[in-house]
Amino acid sequence: MIKRKIKDFFRGFFEIFREYRGETTGMIGLGLIISMIILALLAPSLAPETNRKWDNVDRWKDLPNGAPPFWMNYFSGTSKATQQVKDEPASVSTESVITKLVYDYQFDSDLPPKDVVVYVEGQYEGERPTLIASLIRPDGEKLQLASQTIQGSQGQDGYGFETRLRLFGGSQQRTKVHRFAKQYEEGNVPGPSEIDVTRTAFAKAQDGMLNRTQPLKGEYKLEFLLVGSGTELTNSRAIFMGRVFGLMGTDGNGHDIARGWIWGARYGLILGLSVAAGTVIIALIFGMTSAYYGGWVDELMQRLNEIVMGIPTLPILVVVATLWGRSIWFVIFIMTLLYWRGIAKTVRARGLQIRQNTYVEAGEALGASGSRIIRGHMIPQMLPYAFAEAALMVPMAIIAAAGLHVLGLGDPTVVTWGTMLSEANSAGATIRGMWWWVLLPGLGITLLGFGFISAGMAVERIVNPKMKQE
């Protein structure tokens, strides 16, 4: 009996799918859904630790703030430097008490990097060493940017150190760059606080370079001198922070939007599918039970349904999130309790027709219980319609959850598209011109919603004629 039901179910499923393949928009929607599911499953590999460290400042400190996607260079007349990470220096040499590291950087864009960050690791014995950083330009000018004494922590073999140095991030470097450029100016010049440090450091040495910078393209060298006796270098790395970054850019806090977008797809699917499955199951049980028993049971259940339908969903979610918690699982639970009501009405209407079928009467004549008839004969007739309704329910749940995040009531422990939209709204991203911060998370919601709506409507177009023929 069970095997026959399973066989009948799969036979009906493949019959519907054969017709579904003729629905163009439905196939596009199915493709989007499958792509999102694959992306969601690969999220821990594609964007490791992003979810747990979204608010960790150290996690994103080497990324530029508010950088547009790299492909913006193809649509702009001004090319901007991309992010580059150099794990090994071009050359390392040691002479007496001086260790010299040199990093090569080919500058071919119209705008230079936002900043340059260098990590140096090693150990020393005795006095603390000094790290001196200089920029050697293509025109031969050497611009000393920083000089810093290194403080290490004592270990078994001396003192170990790990230093992070921003070459253009402090007032000392700003003053040095301004002093270098000022010698080429003939008129009034802006003060150090009024200049773009990296644009000036990577500009042609000529009159007006503080006001009307022209990029000096070519090969630059970053030279680092580690001065100190008994000093040993174990590792170093240079990061050239781009003015454009990655596939989706960064937000105002330096978060990689692409990494957050991937986790947004994961949690969007978890939330949407969980709510859709829960609401459809409740609606099927409630609607079919009401239709089968009829009489005062049907009357009572329908009055209960109407009461629930009068409850506004978003205000209830806001109140619940404010008073009892903002966990994504709690939000899923509340949505499931409220979203089944409309589907249950349709299921009941269809259930009243199924109730009159001969196989239901035959089951009753053989002594089958009401729950067994509902579970084994009536609900299976509604499964194709249930799949269609579940697909249409997913975008509703995702949009409602995103609304909670924009209101500042979303789950702070997960990264969703709503999280990014909320942060963009708080930071005034549109006013600051960071459109990608708003557009790309919104596009994720739109694509996933379009996928499920297209798939759901395609299934409904196929299923409804079949239901009418039965």
Give the DSSP letter string of 231-251.
-EEEEEEEEEE-SB-TTT-B-
Task: Please provide the size of the chain in residues.
Answer: 470
- What own/partner pairs with CB < 8 Å and gap ≥ 24 does 205-211 have? 205/137, 205/139, 205/141, 205/181, 209/181, 209/184, 209/185, 210/178, 210/181, 210/182, 210/185
* CB 116 within 8 Å of CB 240: yes
- Say how far apart CA 398 and CA 417 lie, in whole Å: 9
357-401 confidence digits (pLDDT tens): 777 777 767 767 777 777 777 877 787 778 888 888 888 888 888
In a 3-state reduction of DSSP, which class is residue 273? helix
Separation in Å, CA 298 to CA 183, 278, 304, 336, 379:
90, 22, 10, 22, 17
For the record, the structure tokens of 88 come out as 């090994």
User: pLDDT tens across 394-450, in order?
Assistant: 888 888 888 887 777 778 788 889 889 888 988 889 899 999 999 999 999 999 989
Q: What is the dihedral of CA 391, 396, 397, 400, to 10 degrees?
A: 170
DSSP H helices, 407-434, are: 417-427
Nearest to 431 by CA among 42, 66, 5: 66
Mean pLDDT of 194-221: 89
Rounding to the nearest 10 degrees, give the CA dihedral for residues 272, 274, 275, 280: 120
267 phi, psi to nearest 5 deg: -75, -30
User: What digits encode the pLDDT tens for the residues 244-287?
Assistant: 999 999 999 899 999 999 999 999 999 999 999 999 999 999 98
In the prediction, which pLDDT does 341 show?
85
- pLDDT tens, position by position, 321-339: 777 777 888 888 888 888 8
Residues 129, 231: contact at Cβ < 8 Å? yes
More confident of the two residues 119 and 351: 119
Could you give the C-alpha distances from 235 to 105, 120, 135, 160, 228, in angstroms and in order? 19, 6, 20, 12, 17
What whole-number distance in Å separates Cα of residue 420 and Cα of residue 169?
Answer: 27
pLDDT, one tens digit per residue, over 41-64 is: 999 999 988 888 888 888 899 999
Closest to 417 (Cα-Cα) out of 216, 248, 282: 248
Please, what are the domains in the chain?
A: 2-57+256-469 (1.10.3720.10), 70-241 (2.60.120)
Of 463 and 7, the one with more pLDDT: 463
Query: Quick check: 231 pLDDT over 70?
Result: yes
Q: Which two tokens stand for residue 389?
A: 């309704």
Q: What is the pLDDT of residue 13?
A: 62
**Residue 279, CB-side half-sphere exposure with 13 Å CA sphere:** 29
CA distance 80 to 125: 43
Q: How far apart, in whole angstroms, are the C-alpha atoms of residue 358 and residue 364?
A: 10
First to last CA, the chain: 22
The rounded distance, in Å, linking the Cα atoms of 231 and 235 is 13
**What pLDDT is stored for residue 190 in this prediction?**
82
In the predicted model, is pLDDT for residue 466 greater than 70?
no
> What are the φ/ψ torsions at residue 369 (nearest 5 degrees)?
-70, 160
Instruction: Give me the phi and psi of 105, to 5 degrees please.
Output: -140, 120
Residues 69 and 247: beta-carbon distance below 8 Å: yes
